[in-house]
Chain A
Amino acid sequence: MAPLPPSTAPRPAPRSWWRRNQIAITPWLFLAPGILFFAIYVLIPVGQSFNISLYDWDGLGAAEYVGLRNYEEMYWDDAFYTSLRNNVIWLVLYLLAIPAGLAIALFLNQTVTGIRIYKSLFFFPFVISQVVVGLVFSWFYDPSFGLLNVMLGWVGLGPVNVLGDEDWVTYGIIAAGLWPQTAYCMILYLTGLNAVDPEQIEAGRLDNAKGLRMLWHIILPQLRPATFIAFVVTIIGALRSFDLISIMTQGGPFGESRVLSFYMFEVALSEYGFRMGYGAAIAVVLFLIMLCFITYFLWSMYREEKGR
């Protein structure tokens, strides 16, 4: 190899600022649009909501600063506790969609002629609009011509006015909500079941596992990602339960089926509302409840990433 000729080229110019920091900056540049819109549509409104919740404002005139009085009023407000109680009932009972979805998914996870048609039929309720679900169920529950009462009549049970009875109404609406939500969980589990490792099942069989033991020890652990997603979407779905209530009962009878999101809407934006400050205060409480779950989700995702 010939010796290198003495370098005649000029010393390279000092690297530009951009070149020196490129690696550090690039991820932020890619993130910038996301951060920008997240800030505009999520973070800033959260701050604004909190700010409005400190005022008494009807949306038209001047806003009057009242400090924490909206929260104090909420503390004495029966309707708020009714809504909060219903929110808890929603959160607990809505989770039934997960085992129900799993059961249907296991049932449908077989190779029979036409299974795709059955799968799509079971998925159908998730495709139709919540408004339609609400209407269908309010007719189903109708005390004068609804199917439910006809069916109860067959077994000799008296007519029930599900949506007009303050003890039944929330459960009636949740049952309507479970119909599409179960379908959603089912589809999540069906995709999850596709990814179950046949070799592990084989190994389980050799060790004489079957039935529930097989499900619990072999299948379910492999379905963990699907369960996690199903849990997330169901919790969010329960907290967002607004459209069904609005369609089926408007929060009635006498406010017994309200949840926080509906109460917030009613107070701040409906025909008889326009108390922006109080509505915002309810929104803040709802946000804090959601924050508990969001923190949990983020934390468990973070732990999972780290574990890898």
Chain B
Amino acid sequence: MTIKHSAALAALAVTTALGTGALAESHEMALSGELKIFSDMSNPAPRAVMEGMVERFGEMHPDLEIELTIIDREAYKTQIRNFLTANPPDVANWYAGNRMAPYVDAGLFEDVSDLWEGELSETLASTKGAMTLDGKQWGVPYTYYQWGIYYREDIYAEHGLEEPQDWEQLKSNCQTLLDNGIKCFTIGTKFLWTAAGWFDYLNMRTNGYDFHMALTAGEVEWTDDRVKQTFANWRELIDMGAFIDDHTAYSWQEALPFMVNGEAAAYLMGNFAVAPLREAGLSDEQLAYAQFPAINPDVELAEDAPTDTFHIPAGAENKEAARAFLKFVTSAENQTTINAGDALGQLPVNSQSSVDDDEFLKEGFETLSSNSPGGVAQFFDRDAPAEMAKVAMEGFQEFMVKPDNIDRILDKLERARQRIY
């Protein structure tokens, strides 16, 4: 679907109301011509955010004709390959981390290191690493969200449990819940990636961020003893029966009712799970967020926070306007607006932005900005190459069902690693 924003109409709108530094700065350049934007923000709320951004940018640059094309988020993942080569827009959405590597390697993304020079490198410092490949930056972030344990506060209170501070407490909490006929964690592994969330956290807590990054970068053998230790920790939970039964048959959404009905007490998930949980009737008194507790006290805590990004295709025609748009996207004011609870409901990347007054956003922001000294990972399927991610996530799923197969699974992953990297 295409929405055309007529520059003339936009010019009629009031532009003086928004007087900020970022705005004044971009006013200096008179942009003209056409700016084609392809976006994957197709769900209702993100869509409104994207359209709002384009409208505000259009008001600042009345001579610029902006053409916004919004593509279904799943379809976008395969279409991007076609349009980047055949019919590149001026700006396109994508993801940070290794997910951009195929396009960077194929020379399809524009090097935007110049944008990052100076101020941006400070305000967006938390994701600079995730946007960097070969020492250059290839895009800018507009939002990210925390992962963590979302648990039923009321169920925990009922059984006299508290937010787990370490691995032992997490397990003892779990045992209490199991004794009362409640599963500790809900999960739906039908689409595999949910299991990768568990692996990310267990591995980062057992071996630390740097080891995790080395593993996803293919520098460590999957049969390494440290990897085996991660799986041994995971196995403790599996052997307890901590996870719901038959999770291979559910998607992540289908696993939500277990938590809503009180059959399971917690869910290791991204912050996007909060919205459906609230819609299902859980109040903020019933629901709480906890950072995944430490397992190995010697490693620093690190978190998963997948970042969504904007890029300029190498074949873009109006790169000047595209750079201005990227700059506009990263401005503190814009990031505050688009990540508000009534918009994306996620976290702004710009450190000068303010976080919306929402329990989970505030806690997530706190966790990521001050409680994640080890580093911030993207997510397993964005940190590892797509092919490795697929094989590994299948292995995680198999392990969760048949933990006895661990040696065979790790051998398989190791063979895949040797082939892929």
Which A residues contact B (CB, under 8 angstroms)?
A: 58-61, 73, 76, 78, 141-144, 159, 161, 163-166, 249-250, 252-255, 266, 269-275
Closest A residue to B398 by beta carbon equals A254
Whether B246 lies near A164 (C-beta < 8 A) is: yes
24 contacts between A and B (CB under 8 A): A58-B102, A60-B81, A60-B84, A141-B249, A143-B245, A143-B246, A144-B246, A161-B246, A161-B248, A161-B249, A164-B246, A164-B401, A166-B401, A249-B190, A252-B397, A253-B248, A253-B401, A254-B394, A254-B395, A269-B78, A271-B78, A272-B390, A273-B390, A275-B387
With A143-B245, A271-B386 as contacts: A254 and B397 at CB distance below 8 Å: yes
Nearest A residue (CB) for B190: A252
User: Is A252 touching B192 in the complex (CB atoms < 8 A)?
Assistant: yes
* Interface residues in B379-402 (C-beta closer than 8 Å to A): 381, 386-387, 389-390, 394-395, 397-398, 401
Interface residues of B in 38-87 (CB under 8 A from A): 74, 77-78, 81, 84-85
For residue B59, give the distance in angstroms from its CB to the closest CB of chain A: 36
Q: Which residues of B contact A249 (CB under 8 A)?
A: 190
Number of A-B contacts (CB under 8 A): 75
Residue in A60, A76, A141, A273 whose Cβ sees the most chain B Cβ within 10 Å: A60
Give the contact stretch, choosing among B103-111, B125-133, B210-218, B326-334.
B103-111
Rounded to whole angstroms, the CA-CA distance of A161 and B246 in the bound complex is 6
Q: Is B226 at the interface (CB under 8 A from chain A)? A: no
The 3 A-B residue pairs with the shortest CB-CB distance in the complex, in nearest-first order = A164-B248, A164-B249, A272-B390
Asked if residues B246 and A60 are in contact (CB atoms below 8 Å), the reply is no
What's the Cα separation between A166 and B108 when bound, in Å?
40
Query: Which residue in chain A gives the minimum CB-CB distance to B248?
Result: A164
Q: Which of A60, A143, A163, A250 contacts B191 (CB 8 A)?
A: A250
Q: How far is the CA of A59 from the CA of B108 in the complex (A)?
A: 13
CA distance A249 to B197 in the complex (A): 20
Q: How far is the CA of A252 from the CA of B191 in the complex (A)?
A: 8
Rounded to whole angstroms, the CA-CA distance of A164 and B84 in the bound complex is 38
Select the residue from B85, B189, B390, B412 with max chain A CB neighbours within 10 A: B390
A60-B102 contact, Cβ under 8 Å, with A253-B401, A254-B394, A272-B381 = yes
- Within the complex, the shortest CB–CB distance from A227 to chain B, in Å, comes to 37
Q: Smallest CB-CB separation from B107: which chain A residue?
A: A61
> Which residues in A have their C-beta under 8 angstroms from that of B191?
250
- 5 additional contacts (CB under 8 A) given A161-B249, A253-B248, A275-B387: A60-B85, A164-B401, A252-B190, A254-B397, A254-B398
* Chain B residues in 8 Å Cβ range of A269: 78
Q: Which residues of A contact B390 (CB under 8 A)?
A: 266, 272-273
Render B208-249 as a binary contact track against A, CB cut-off 8 A, 1 for contact: 000000000000000000000000000000000000011111
Q: Do A273 and B246 form a contact, CB below 8 Å, given A60-B85, A78-B412, A255-B394?
A: no
Chain A proximity of B363: nearest CB distance (Å): 31
Of A159, A253, A269, chain B has the most CB atoms within 10 Å of the CB of A253
Give the docked Cα–Cα distance between A269 and B390 (Å): 13
**Cα A253 to Cα B398 with chains together (Å):** 7
Chain B residues near A141 (CB-CB < 8 A): 249
Cβ of A58: which chain B residues have Cβ within 8 Å of it? 102, 106
Chain A residue numbers with a CB within 8 Å of B77 are 271
Q: Whose C-beta in chain B lies nearest to the C-beta of A255?
A: B394
Q: Report whether B386 and A274 are in contact in the complex, using a CB–CB cutoff of 8 Å.
A: yes
| Chain A residues with CB below 8 A from B389, complex form | 272
A165→B389 CA distance, assembly (Å): 22
Chain A residues whose C-beta falls within 8 Å of the C-beta of B105 in the assembled complex: 61
Nearest CB in chain A to that of B258: its residue: A144
CB within 8 Å of A: which B13-54 residues = none
Contact B247 A164 (CB under 8 A): yes
Bound-complex Cα distance A159 to B246 (A)? 10
- What residue of chain A has the Cβ atom nearest to residue B381's Cβ? A272
Q: How far is the CB of B167 from chain A (nearest CB, A)?
A: 27
List the A residue with the shortest CB-CB distance to B192: A252
Q: Are B78 and A252 within 8 A (Cβ)?
A: no
Contacts of A165 in B (CB 8 A): 248
Query: In the bound complex, what is the Cα–Cα distance between A59 and B386 (angstroms)?
Result: 14
Query: Are A142 and B249 in touch, CB under 8 angstroms?
Result: yes
Smallest distance from the beta carbon of A26 to chain B beta carbons, Å?
42
Q: How far is the CB of B13 from chain A (nearest CB, A)?
A: 39
Q: Give bound CA distance, A249 to B74, whole Å.
A: 17
Minimal beta-carbon separation of A175 from chain B (angstroms): 16
A61: shortest Cβ distance to chain B, in Å?
A: 5
- Chain A residues with CB below 8 A from B81, complex form: 59-60, 274
Closest CB in chain A relative to B75 CB, distance in Å? 11
A144 to B255, CA, bound (A): 11
In the complex, A272→B102 CA distance in Å?
Answer: 12
Indicate which residue in B245, B381, B397, B419 contacts A161 across the interface (CB closer than 8 Å). Answer: B245
| Chain B min CB distance to A82 (Å) | 11
Q: Which residues of A contact B386 (CB under 8 A)?
A: 271-274
Distance of A250 Cα from B412 Cα, bound (Å): 20
